[in-house]
Amino acid sequence: MFKSLFQKSKNNKITYLDSGATSMKLDLVVDAEIEFLTKFNTNTHNEVSENSSIINEVIEKLRVKVKEFLNAKDGNVAFVSGSTFALNQLAFGLIDEIDSKDEIVITSVEHSANLLPWIEITNKTKAKLNYFDLNDNGTIKIENIKNVINKNTKIVSFAHISNTLGYENNVKAIVDEIRRINPKILIYVDCAQSISHTKIDLNDWDVDAIVFSAHKMYGPFGLGILWAKDALLDRLKPLVLGGGNIVNVDKNSYLLSEPPYKFEAGTMNLSSIYSFDKLLSWYKLIDFNSINKYEKELKEYFVTEFKKLNDENIIIYNLDNNQVSILFNVKGVSSQDFAIFLEKKYQIITRAGQHCAQLTKELINSKTTIRATLSIFNTRKDIDKLIEAFKDKNSWTDYIF
């Protein structure tokens, strides 16, 4: 199911614990990419080509399929390059409507993709950038929302699940509270980390836009999904101009296409769109409750085994979350060095550093960490291996150059 798990390594088997960065790809995704590139290899919007009409049809049907996947009763879907692009599109697409009287609210545990655009926008427009109060685990403190949301708040943007501490925000309760205070606010949710683990039900969330990336959900690279309500799609100005997003142009002006086409200038990532379509058919067959259950069991197994170690040298910042992220440090060893040890000696792939969420340090009092992320293709054996590496104290510093 996941050929890519058997990458070249000493014993031909790696322990992949870096799904937070990118998940392994399902074989059916890899096969579909190859199929598209070898069988169709065409560009869109060529009315006379049979292959071109095939992919045109895939794209249009896929918009509907994505909406079904998200249980979205309205709105539309634009295909972009990733969550980063989609979040930038949401931010800069309204810059002309933002001025110094406006306020924008985010959290300090956002990924840079949902932080930097807002810093830039508020610097440019002189609007105010506010931050939600957070619980110790990085989730939004619902009872304090009233302190940061007011009649001047124009946009709120936050992650469903943060990419560091990995706790889940109660989006419905947060949105209800925001709407109670000011119903006009535009609410964006970054679902990059949650999309493959939790069922997103837009019928349950009264939000204006969500974003996610296909490569974090066993799918292809280079494809991001922006779902937004029609009224917002109409208001947003596209970040990129070019072929495919205009209906008319003369020497001094142009007329933009309707949404979602106005967000899709240039050649789209067609092989990824083709394989993503197959991926969503796979998601239709599986049940998110079973995914949740399996991943939670894995995490519980890790917690049990880790507690048996009783080793104070290993600090885990999110042991009590029942999500897939394990964020940790080892006393006396830099996070980078420990991640190198894990990979060199045990072929365990993790990630060390600031995870593009530099403000998380305010919560955990450490600039860098190691992140291991569990996923459906992991097993108890992978956890046993991590625990074995934790026990192998004498080798922890052997790989420091």
Ligand X SMILES: Cc1ncc(COP(=O)(O)O)c(C=O)c1O
Indicate which residues carry an active-site annotation: 356
Rounded Cα gap, residues 383 and 96, in angstroms: 50
Total residues binding ligand X (CB under 6 A): 12
Q: Which of 23, 79, 92, 111 binds ligand X (CB under 6 A)?
A: 111
Rounded Cα gap, residues 132 and 154, in angstroms: 14
Query: Nearer to ligand X by C-beta: 189 or 333?
Result: 189
386 near ligand X (CB under 6 A): no
Residues 6 or more apart in contact with residue 115 via CB below 8 angstroms: 106, 357, 359
Q: Which of 75, 82, 117, 166 binds ligand X (CB under 6 A)?
A: 82
Q: Which of 15, 88, 122, 163 binds ligand X (CB under 6 A)?
A: 163
User: For ligand X, which stretch binds (CB under 6 A), given 67-75, 77-85, 282-290, 342-350?
Assistant: 77-85
Residues 6 or more apart in contact with residue 102 via CB below 8 angstroms: 125, 127, 128, 152, 153, 154, 155
- Nearest approach in angstroms of CB 193 to ligand X is 5
Q: Which of residues 212-271 bind ligand X (CB under 6 A)?
A: 213
Q: Which of residues 179-198 bind ligand X (CB under 6 A)?
A: 190, 192-193
Rounded Cα gap, residues 54 and 34, in angstroms: 16
Rounded Cα gap, residues 343 and 393, in angstroms: 15
| 246: β partners | 256
Query: Nearer to ligand X by C-beta: 114 or 139?
Result: 114
- Nearest approach in angstroms of CB 250 to ligand X is 35
Residue ranges of alpha helices (H) inside 252-400 are 270-285, 288-309, 335-346, 361-364, 380-391
Query: Nearer to ligand X by C-beta: 175 or 389?
Result: 175
User: For ligand X, which stretch binds (CB under 6 A), given 49-57, 67-75, 107-115, 386-394?
Assistant: 107-115
Q: Which of 83, 245, 272, 321 binds ligand X (CB under 6 A)?
A: 83
User: For ligand X, which stretch binds (CB under 6 A), given 66-74, 78-86, 172-180, 370-378?
Assistant: 78-86
Q: Which of 19, 23, 84, 153 binds ligand X (CB under 6 A)?
A: 84
Query: Nearer to ligand X by C-beta: 159 or 236?
Result: 159
Residues 6 or more apart in contact with residue 161 via CB below 8 angstroms: 167, 168, 169, 193, 194, 197, 198, 323
DSSP single-letter state for residue 218: T
As given in the structure block, the two tokens for residue 307 are: 């507690």
DSSP single-letter state for residue 394: G
- Residues near ligand X (CB under 6 A): 82-84, 111, 113-114, 159, 163, 190, 192-193, 213
